[in-house]
Amino acid sequence: MLVVYGASGHGKVVADAARAAGLVVDGFLDDDETKHGTMFFGAPVLGGRGYLDAAPPLCIAWGIGSNRVREQVAAIVTAAGHTCETVIHPRAVVAPSARIGAGVVVFAGACINADAVVDDGAIVNTSAVIEHDCVLGAFCHVSPNAALGGAVRVGVRAHVGLGSSVIQGIAIGDDTTIGAGSVVVRDLPPGVVAYGVPARARR
């Protein structure tokens, strides 16, 4: 039984990708109790975290946009004995040598090239480019139309903003956020917000 955790706009896109890949979305989970028992995007909202304890084994696709919340809920889901489903849209291009972790979502038009590694729970959003030998940390998010050159390393829970470009060989620290449209030409430490052309750590 496949459910999408997150009855939200992001959850809709995940459900679309899953259905395009030939999967049946049996329902949604969401921690907003006002949504429980309603229909959302063609499937019922079954409940929230409390539903996990009594439910049969579930395959859960991540419709949660927040990196930190996605990581926290993943720990609860796996502790309850459920599994995390990887969803790859059929219009994404993923090299045979790329390694894709559990609970990853890859959206339409994305390209993941040779020997790239995408760790558990990461999001590779619409038309993002992940070049050869990149390593994406767990629960990070590469936004639509962002492009990573070869051998870029993106830290755990980091967020690469819309349309950003990162030149080859750059390391982006854990929990760092890169603003939309930025050009990253030097390494960025953990836990900063960086933006601009070239991108600089602002706080």
Show which residues are catalytic.
Answer: 132
Phi first, then psi: what are they for 53, rounded to 5°?
-70, -35
Residue 54 CB neighbour total at 10 angstroms: 8
For residue 28, give the 3-state DSSP assignment: strand
Give the residue from 63, 134, 77, 74 showing the smallest Cα distance to 105: 63
Amino acid symbol at 178: I
State the Cα–Cα distance between residues 64 and 167, nearest whole angstrom: 28
Alpha-carbon Rg for the chain, nearest whole angstrom, is 17
In a 13 Å sphere around the CA of 161, the CA atoms on its Cβ side amount to 14
Q: What are the structure tokens assigned to 99, written together?
A: 């390694």
* Strand partners of residue 100: 118
